[in-house]
Chain A
Amino acid sequence: QQQVKQSPQSLIVQKGGIPIINCAYENTAFDYFPWYQQFPGKGPALLIAIRPDVSEKKEGRFTISFNKSAKQFSLHIMDSQPGDSATYFCAASGKETSGSRLTFGEGTQLTVNP
C-alpha cells in the first residue's frame, strides 16, 4: 500500500515551461515533506523540503506548494531547463515513526525538451 501517491508518472515539457508534480498522502501524522531529484545512474539528492506550518516554500526555481486540508503537496519548476530532466520523488515522514523512516512516492520522470 503506497502511503504517498505521486502523479504524473512521466512529464514532458518545453524549455521555459513550468512542470508541476503532485503528491497526495493519507497519514495526517506526516509532518515533513521532502522532494528528491535523481539523475540517471546516480542516487537521489535532496532538492527542497517543507513542513506543514507553511503553504509554500521557494528555493531558486523550485517551489513546493502545500495544502494541509487536502493532504496534497506539489513541486513547481519555474523556467524549466533541459538540465532539469531527471526523476523526481516526493516523500513524507511523521513523528510516530522512528529513526530515518521516509515513505517515497512512485516517482515522476521529467523531460525538458530544448
Chain B
Amino acid sequence: EAQVTQNPRYLITVTGKKLTVTCSQNMNHEYMSWYRQDPGLGLRQIYYSMNVEVTDKGDVPEGYKVSRKEKRNFPLILESPSPNQTSLYFCASSLRGRTGKQYFGPGTRLTVT
C-alpha cells in the first residue's frame, strides 16, 4: 500500500530535550516536506527536500532541522524544543514537486511542556 508513515504519532516532552520525528514513504517520491498545523493558521511548511541531500527552508524553519540521507526517509529534528513548537506535524511526499499530489502522513501530535 502506498503510504507515508510518521513516528511517533503522539509525543509529550519537556523544553530542551532533543527529539526526532521520523517520516518514511514507499512511493519512490523525490519531493518531501514537513508542515505544522496550528488552529487558525492552517498548514505552514517547515522544510522541504527535492532529493537526497537537497533540502531548503519553508516558511517557518526556525528551531527545526532536517536531513535527507535516503530517498525514502525525511526526519524532522528539534534540537531544543520549546513550548511554541507544540503543534500537529505532518510529513508529505509527492512525485512532481509543487504541482504534484501531496501524500500526507497521519500526523504527529507534539506537546512541549
Contact = CB atoms under 8 A, between A and B. Distances in A.
Does B bind A? yes
Contact of B98 (A2, A9, A32, A43): A32
A32 B96 CA distance: 13
A99 B43 contact: no
A91 B40 CA distance: 15
Name B's interface SS.
strand
Nearest to B41: A106
Contacts of B40: 9, 106
A45 B104 contact: yes
A89 B45 CA distance: 14
A44 B93 CA distance: 12
A82 to B, nearest CB: 23
B43 A100 contact: no
Contacts, number: 76
A32 B102 CA distance: 13
B42 A43 contact: no
A108 to B, nearest CB: 10
A99 B56 contact: yes
Interface residues of A, number: 27
B47 to A, nearest CB: 10
A104 B98 contact: no
Interface in A59-114: 89, 91, 93, 97-107
Interface of B: 4, 31-33, 35, 40-45, 48-50, 56, 58-59, 90, 92, 94, 97-102, 104-107
17 contacts: A2-B41, A32-B99, A41-B107, A43-B4, A43-B92, A43-B104, A89-B43, A98-B56, A99-B33, A99-B56, A99-B97, A99-B98, A100-B94, A100-B98, A102-B33, A102-B98, A103-B59
